[in-house]
Amino acid sequence: MTDSDGWFAELSRGDETAATAAVREGSAEEPREWPRLAVEAGFADDADDYYDAVHEATTAATREAVRERERADDRQLVHAVRAMDDCRRTANELAERLAEWAGTVDDEAEPGLEYARELAAREPEPDETRLVSLASRVASLADEADELREFVERKTPSIAPNLAALAGSPLAARLISLAGGLEELAKQPSGTIQVLGAEDALFAHLRGHAPSPKHGIIYTHEAVRGTRPEDRGSAARALAGKLAIAARIDHYSGDYRPELEAELAERIETIQARADDEDDDE
Question: How many CB atoms within 10 Å of residue 274?
Answer: 14
Grade residue 68 by pLDDT with cuts at 50, 70 and 90: low
In whole angstroms, how large is the CA radius of gyration of the chain? 28
What is the spatial distance between Cα 204 and Cα 165, in angstroms, rounded to a whole number?
33
**What is the helix (H) or strand (E) element at residue 14, kind and residue range?**
none
How sure is the predictor about 119, in pLDDT bands with cuts at 50, 70 and 90?
very high
Task: Tally Cβ neighbours within 10 Å of residue 88.
Answer: 18
pLDDT number for residue 1:
45
pTM, rounded to two decimals: 0.71
Tell me the per-residue pLDDT of 194-230, one tens digit each, with 9 for 90 and over.
999 877 666 665 677 666 677 789 999 999 999 998 9
**pLDDT band for position 3 (50/70/90)?**
very low
Q: In the prediction, which pLDDT does 24 show?
A: 81
Burial 164-179 (b: 16+ CB within 10 A, else e): bbbbbbbbbbbbbbbb
Q: What is the mean pLDDT of the chain?
A: 87
Catalogue all structural domains in the chain, each as residue range(s) with its CATH number.
16-71 (no CATH), 73-159 (1.10.287), 160-282 (1.10.246.90)
Measured CA to CA in angstroms, residue 113 lies from 87, 92, 150 at distances of: 12, 7, 19
User: By CB neighbour count within 10 A (0-12 exposed, 13-18 middle, 19+ buried), where does 238 fall?
Assistant: buried
